[in-house]
Amino acid sequence: MLIVISGFSGAGKGTLIRRLMAEHGEDYALSVSATTRAPRPGEVDGKDYFFLDKARFQEMIHEDRLLEYARYVDNYYGTPRDYVEEQMRAGKDVILEIEIQGALRIKGQYPEAVLIFVTPPSAEELRSRLVNRGTETDEVIRKRMNRAADEAVGVEAYDYILINEDVERSTELLHKVIQIQHMRVSQKLPFIYEINKELRTLE
**CA-wise closest residue to 17 among 102, 95, 79:** 95
Contacts of 52 (CB under 8 A, 6+ apart): 34, 35, 36, 60
Rounded CA-CA distance 74/37 in Å is 8
Q: Is the pLDDT of residue 5 over 90?
A: yes
Q: Residue 203 — pLDDT band, cuts 50, 70, 90?
A: low
| Of the listed ranges 28-42, 66-80, 135-149, the one predicted with least confidence | 135-149
Rounded CA-CA distance 75/72 in Å is 5
**CA-wise closest residue to 3 among 85, 72, 101, 106:** 106
Q: Going from the N-terminus, what domains does the chain have, and what CATH number goes with each?
A: 2-31+92-201 (3.40.50.300)
Report the pLDDT averaged over residues 63-68. Answer: 92
Count of C-beta atoms within a 10 Å radius of residue 115: 22
Q: Is the pLDDT of residue 10 over 80?
A: no
Q: Residue 76 — pLDDT band, cuts 50, 70, 90?
A: very high
Q: Which residue has the higher pLDDT, 139 or 94?
A: 94
Q: Is the pLDDT of residue 200 over 80?
A: yes
> pLDDT value at position 192?
92
CB 8 within 8 A of CB 119: yes
CA distances from 163 to 12, 73, 103, 116, 118 (A): 10, 24, 18, 10, 6
| Of the listed ranges 21-25, 69-73, 104-108, the one predicted with least confidence | 69-73
